[in-house]
Amino acid sequence: MTDATMTYADDQPLDPLGDADTASEQKSTRNRAKVGSGRPSSLLYTYGPGSIMDLPQFTIMPAGLDDWETIWRRRDGVPTIHAPRLLEAVQTMLGSQVSELRPFPWAPKKNFASKEGDDLGVPARVFPQWMRCTGCDLLGPISRFSYTNTHPYRTDEARFEHEKCYGRAGSKDRKARARPAVPARYLIACADGHLDEFPYPWWVHHGNDCPKAQFPVLKMVDRTSGKGASATIMCDSCQARRPMNEAQGEAARGKLPKCRGRHPHLNAFATHGCPMPVRLMLVGASNLWFPATQSIVVMPQSAAEAIAGRGNALRSALGEDLETFHDHPSVLRALLKKGGSPLADLSDDELAAAVVLAMAPAVTDEELEERRRTWDPVDLLVPEWRYLQRDPIGHQHDDPSGLMLSSRTRDPQLRPEITRVLAVDKLRKVNAVVGFTRIDEMERVSDLTSRLVPLTRDKRPRWAVATEDRGEGIFLQLDEAAVEAWERKIDETETWQDHKAAHRRNFERRYSETAKQVDPDERLRPPRYWLLHTFAHVLIREMAMQCGYSAASLSERIYAWTSDGGREPAAGLLICTTASDSDGTLGGLVQLSEPARLELVVTSALERASRCSSDPVCAHRTPKDPEDFLHGAACHCCAMASETSCERANRFLDRRFLIDLPGAVGLGFFG
């Protein structure tokens, strides 16, 4: 992980629900543990541990997974999510000791007033903890302000207040009254993922102590509507003042303090600090938190895969009891029955084999590092592609894995390049987060897990957090022979050489020092990926107008790689929509897989892709030195999609690879 060792402030345990219980016993109404809510998808991709979540009156930071244990201990058992392929990928990233995937600590309520889930929730800390009074501009730590949260069903009313605020000097209303305080919006962060409060007293006094007071009175004066680093920090005790714009950009070099190596979500510091330079960061900055996630569409397991997964399941179900009673199968079976584990139904031989798998020696650090070095995210997609090549067992066969597939006949008018269509009536998608980065997202930094910020204080976490989505989709497969012939032609074109050169420039300018040993061309997606990616985007736009779902709720899954050793080539795409807080979706998307409707969707999508309101500029766009953008004839008017839909952040798109455009005849796969 980022730090070899960390120090932890164990005198500040985080147990908000326990605090609420104590307050309730004391008949206090001032402590309400719950201050907000979020959907599972937002907690995974936007507001996970280590991020900053905006609430109506202040901001919080979801805590690391260690602090979730106090929440889970309020229940007799911990639910898990069954996804062996995804668990294996998480083990590659975090270590073989990870034995299970857990959902967020949440339970549905029967009605508004019921209390089923009151003993669950994601623990969080108020962060940043420097606040600014909106009435008098007083700037101080959270201890200078009072907390108000008395209504159990109005979490939006929770706020911090400056109790005796007289307002700003010169204002007509100078009566003492409570005025709300808001988070001071400046932070400092480094590229290794550390985050800290901005040192306002240190800053305004140029690294020295205030000559007039041990605890100076500070104010943050801002008269420009809070845009950027526009505030001025003032010390009322000694009259010192310093603008925040000095902490921004190149001018800040040498003026900001050293990084302390702080991880506020873990309540921990790097033992020996951090050598990385810090930079000014705003609380709402989009580059404050980038999740590192992996996801799979759950496919039915083979018998061999089911057997291989029993070791992890047994280790997860028994914990330390496995080491103690591994030679006593009758005791193990009794423990499994007590915990309600399905492993209790295994035969004696099957249980003995599962024990052998669970007790196998842990993977060494050297083996794990080699596995990480050779691991390719495409490995998660290969089993899905192979299963989708099989003919469905029957019409709308409902598999226990959550997948339901149906064959669709091709409409005679459907483009001949599309050779196979499957209706995905039901699917289950599981997503796991293994860490996060700051300032640069993982892909643009490097693939080294050493750049990941850990979610636990322990370097070797026992579990990872995941979400489970259910939905529907449409799978389309292209003719492999036609794709291969088209790809050979594209490889020799000037347009493709320009894209390769732009990708090389982009890589060299944006990747970290740790990625210098990586060949940029190895990270460039092949031409078939550009083709299928662009095709998926234009289909999403067209489907959104006919299926009843918004374009932002549709997402893509691209199966596009060339033959590599034992891995057969792939050329297909899955357009799906999923929901994490219901039993599934409504069927509007899968209805578009009906032959006549799909032909109309494809024809209309390709026709719309032939025109763009930004043409001819868009149609002729090709990156030339020194440009390094990773798309060609594609923009938000014609082919780009929302962030929730695209798996590559709108990179690797070009309409010229899809259809012939003026000035680029012969490049389009569909002509």
Cα–Cα dist 318/84, whole Å: 18
Q: Look at residue 650 in the predicted model and tell me its pLDDT.
A: 93
Residue 520 in contact with residue 508, Cβ under 8 Å?
Answer: yes
Cα–Cα dist 312/310, whole Å: 6
Cα–Cα dist 378/447, whole Å: 14
- Which of 216-220, 286-290, 302-306 comes out lowest in average pLDDT? 302-306
Q: Which of 9-23, 101-115, 287-301 has the highest mean pLDDT?
A: 287-301
Q: Which tokens is 361 given?
A: 């020696």
Q: Which tokens is 489 given?
A: 């032609």
Confidence of residue 584 (pLDDT cuts 50, 70, 90): low
For residue 47, give the amino acid letter: Y
Cα–Cα dist 655/671, whole Å: 11
**How many whole angstroms from its chain centre is CA 605?**
30
Residue 518 in contact with residue 511, Cβ under 8 Å?
Answer: yes
Percent of the chain with pLDDT over 70: 92
| SS3 category, 139 | strand
Q: Look at residue 515 in the predicted model and tell me its pLDDT.
A: 56
Averaged pLDDT of the chain: 86
**How many whole angstroms from its chain centre is CA 256?**
30
β-bridge pairing 159-165 and 268-270: unpaired
Query: What are the phi and psi torsion angles at 362 (to 5°)?
Result: -65, 150
Strands (E), 479-630: 555-561, 570-579
Q: 598 to each of 244, 474, 475, how far by Cα in Å?
A: 56, 10, 11
Find out whether the peptide bond into 527 is cis, omega within 30 degrees of 0.
no
| SS3 category, 178 | strand
Q: Which residues are 408's β-sheet partners?
A: 421
For residue 114, give the amino acid letter: S
Q: 416 to each of 329, 409, 492, 529, 598, how far by Cα in Å?
A: 58, 13, 25, 19, 13
Higher confidence at residue 19 or residue 59? 59
Question: What pTM value is reported for the model?
Answer: 0.86
> pLDDT per residue over 409-443, tens digit each?
999 999 999 999 999 999 999 999 999 999 887 76
